[in-house]
Amino acid sequence: MPSKLRRIRFRQTGGFAGLVRGCELAPEALGAGEREELVRLARESGLVAAPGGAPAPGTRGTGRDRARDTMRYEIEIESEAGVVRVVLDDLDLPEKVAPLVAYLQKHSRPMPLE
Amino acid sequence: MSCCPNPIHCILPPYVLDHMAESSDPKVRRLAIEAIARSATLRATRVALSPFAARTAIASAGARKQRLIYDCKNRGSTYLPGTLVRSEGDPKSSDPAVNEAYDHSGTTYDFYKKLFGRNSLDDGGMTLVSTVHLGNKYNNAFWNGEQMAYGDGDGEIFIRFTKSLDVVGHELTHGVVSHTADLEYRDEPGALNEHFADVFGVLVKQWKKKQRADKADWLIGKEIMGPGTSAKALRTFKDEPAYENDPLLGTDPQPKHLSKKYKGTADSGGVHINSGIPNHAFYLVARALGGNAWVKAGPIWYNTLRALHQTSDFADMVAMSTQTAATLYGVGSAEEKAVAKAWKDVGF
């Protein structure tokens, strides 16, 4: 049984546009509908698992190191079980994580460069 | 004809290959795509089959372009390349994204062939493979090392990425870079990689539209901006931001002078950010030389690209482009002086 979700931090960089966008979401601060959707997507992504657990990346695209203009996704999920951090890109994004990324992208705003 | 031990390359009919190209097994898809590409070349040129990957080894005997357009049907990148929907010489599709990918990749091929004598990305007649409708409302386009892939945009920040000739030219130029200097995709070499992609993306557009340097807009991505943003484009070669305080994009972070170079780690060390510095230098060269930018500035930059190497940095770029201008037009020429002054104006 996945542990209770506390917070998700998301940052997207790279891509053709080179934009830096992200968000930090706490389920408790969301409306009921949004909270349920976020919790469901996080659960279905498999990222909220046992402590230290994280999904293996999906099948890597051929020649990932040769790719140009792919987007990079940094996801940090904090739950009662601990913190899971993954870094994925367009060529190794697992199908079950893609809906969560789409949700986080929808809630993202421009972020300052660090 | 040499015989390849792989049965997929030999006698399977096209409809079987098409079905295999949609297999859930990426290895099966890859083999099928290679066979389809080989078959397309054979029909056009009657060249004997090579045992190596068609996309990298087979030269079209008449130096003719070979294009394959695939539809990923809004599935993810694990389904690349998708379903073959238009091959070289096929009639127009009812899908504008398919036609744009086909037409713009053809224009880019023609640009490199007519201006620089380059036969496709690898100068060996490499088949140009494009996939449209990648992902769901995917706000991006990329080169994966072997092919282009284009999203449809979310309809707010961006619309479909095939709409822009400079975007397609940019992605294909990543292929040219990988077969020439092969600049590493990080820090200054990566910014140069992005710079050359922007330069030849914008030059393809100016060449197609027959625009003089003083009349061109020098924008990247103008045609793909969505209705939710006030940004005029994603990038500009001019010394001004492409967008400012936009709720969806923020403010254009590209510096146009070395003193403002980004030194952080985001975006692989700012490859899409610091490209603004050499981009502006190229603009200054093109404006100083006048006329059509692809006539003089284009060859200087193309030959510079061919002379650079994987770890070339900005200092190497400054030196090589100045030297190339001297080689092409003479030591002390107006062209050499224009290049030297442009680099000085952006801080070198």
Strands B67-71 and A71-79: unpaired
By C-alpha distance, the chain B residue nearest A73 is: B267
- Put simply, whether B277 touches A (Cβ < 8 Å) is no
Is the torsion defined by CA of A28, A30, A35, A37 positive or negative? negative
The alpha carbon of residue B243 is apart from the nearest alpha carbon of chain A, in Å, by: 12
The alpha carbon of residue B74 is apart from the nearest alpha carbon of chain A, in Å, by: 12
Q: How many domains does chain A have?
A: 1
The alpha carbon of residue B117 is apart from the nearest alpha carbon of chain A, in Å, by: 25
Contacts of A4 (CB under 8 A, 6+ apart): A79, A80
- Residue B97 pLDDT class (50, 70, 90 cuts): very high
Please report the ipTM that was assigned to this predicted complex.
Answer: 0.88
By C-alpha distance, the chain A residue nearest B193 is: A68
Per-residue pLDDT tens for B194-213? 999 999 999 999 999 999 99
3-class SS of residue B202: helix
By C-alpha distance, the chain A residue nearest B225 is: A17
Chain A residues in contact with chain B using a Cβ-Cβ cutoff of 8 Å: 13-20, 58-59, 61-71, 90-91, 93, 95, 98, 102, 105, 109-114
Interface of B with A in 124-153 (CB under 8 A): 135-137, 139-146
User: In order of start, what are the domains of chain B with their CATH numbers?
Assistant: 7-163 (3.10.170.10), 187-345 (1.10.390.10)
Tokens of B44: 């056009």
Domain span at residue A99 reads 5-110
Interchain pair B80, A61: CB under 8 A: yes
3-class SS of residue A71: strand
Per-residue pLDDT tens for B42-72? 444 433 333 333 344 344 556 789 999 999 9
Chain Cα centroid distance, residue B237: 17
pTM: 0.86
